[in-house]
Structure 1
Amino acid sequence: MSGNSSNGLSLHMQESLQVFQAFLGDAALNAELQAIGELCVQTYQRGNKILIAGNGGSAADAQHFAGELVSRFYFDRPPLSAIALTTDSSILTAIGNDYGYKEVFARQVLANGCAGDLFIAISTSGNSENILHAIEACRQKDIKVVGLTGQSGGKLKALSDHCLCVPSASTPRIQECHLVIEHALCAHIEQRIFRPEPV
């Protein structure tokens, strides 16, 4: 029994590793990741901010990502402006009650977003209705959109300025890769802004 359980646990780890290897072996995905990293840096260099949203596990990712930017990642440095649109229960329930759940992020984008900001949209399916509505709000405010999604890309892929489609159809594997992507972006942003390589 314990042997079978151990094999099952190892299988999950092996599946995760396979997804990471597939991502790293895809030149287009790596180029897109680099472009997104530079877009984040440019957003901060202009004095703008990053807005982040997702549902469920992706909501936790949004909060985690914002926390690393506002607080710190690898080293002490000035805070970077990032807002997870998933955290204020009064705002979320007011909008959900008055306008419907599909508007919970869009209303916040319209309220807090500015031209030149960046919206990071996290959806494993790429079809979360409230994420898609938030992108419509971004277009009204001249805010660029980065999508983090799964293999199919869903509707999010076509609506994003840049999109990383993790090469998997498994929600847990996609979410695991999203977290690694977010950590990689945090490290890149921090290094490029506060400890740039000498020219």
Structure 2
Amino acid sequence: MQELVKEIYTESIQAQIAAGEALPSALESAALTIVQSLINGNKVLCCGGSNNYMLASHFANLLVNFYETERPCLPAIALSNELTHLSSYATPAMNDSFSRQVRAYGQPGDLLVVITVTGNEKEIISAVEAALTKDMQVIVLSGNDGGELAGLLGPNDVEIRVPSKRPSRIIESHLFNIHCLSELIDLTLFPQDDS
């Protein structure tokens, strides 16, 4: 069993090395896009499909609070995957939950950050479509081939696609990428004096 544990660690490390080679440009672009949107007085809406909902909430929390160094709050909202606040009459399908919130809270210039493993979750696709109709930019954290979402993105949108097919490795990389984005955003908006 210990050998299996070592194999799992090795696979995870190899996936992170591959992501480290493939993603720096996308992470830089995403961080600068978020920073510019915040400087312009806009907000960040975050959502994640199924296993990635907690990551979307975590990223919004890091923006509102702070990553490692205390700083002023940044406007971010984690869209709810709970339907309790939506009328059952108005929402016949779960697929509308995120898109309805994007239409309710999103404004032109705001950002939608979506976190997905496959890029094929209907509720995430609907949220991105709603954001695009509101002239919002979209940042997608995805994996494998990017799924259907990859085809929806325009030239001003950013895709951070983890080069892996294993859902567990993609989710691990998403958490790392969220922390990387948080650090880049904080250091750009609130530079630290090293002296």
Within 1, Cα distance between the matches of 2:159 and 2:41? 23
2:84 is matched by which residue type in structure 1? S
8 Å CA contact 1:96–1:104 kept in 2: the answer is no
The corresponding residue for 2:45 is 51
The corresponding residue for 1:123 is 116
Within 2, Cα distance between the matches of 1:40 and 1:175? 21
Within 2, Cα distance between the matches of 1:96 and 1:54? 24
1:18 and 2:11 aligned: no
Q: What are the residue-to-residue correspondences of 1:149-168 with 2, within 5 Å?
A: 149-160=142-153, 161-168=157-164
Deviates more, 1:54-63 or 1:168-177: 54-63
Q: CA RMSD in A?
A: 1.9
CA displacement at 1:55 relative to structure 2? 2.0
8 Å CA contact 2:98–2:124 kept in 1: the answer is yes
The corresponding residue for 1:133 is 126
8 Å CA contact 2:116–2:142 kept in 1: the answer is yes
The corresponding residue for 2:103 is 110
Which of 71, 77, 94 is equivalent to 1:77?
71
Equivalenced residues, count: 191
- Greater helix percent: which structure? 1
Q: 1:87 to 1:99 in 2, by over 3 A?
A: closer
The corresponding residue for 1:176 is 172
1:34 and 2:28 aligned: yes
8 Å CA contact 2:81–2:98 kept in 1: the answer is no
Q: TM-score normalised to the size of structure 1?
A: 0.90
Q: Secondary structure at the match of 1:99?
A: coil
CA displacement at 1:10 relative to structure 2? 1.8
Q: 1:71 to 1:116 in 2, by over 3 A?
A: same
4+ residue runs of structure 1 moved beyond 6 angstroms?
Answer: none
Q: Secondary structure at the match of 1:8?
A: helix
Within 2, Cα distance between the matches of 1:197 and 1:32? 26
Within 2, Cα distance between the matches of 1:38 and 1:148? 15
8 Å CA contact 1:127–1:155 kept in 2: the answer is yes
Q: Secondary structure at the match of 2:140?
A: strand
What residue ranges of structure 1 are gaps of 5+ in the alignment? none
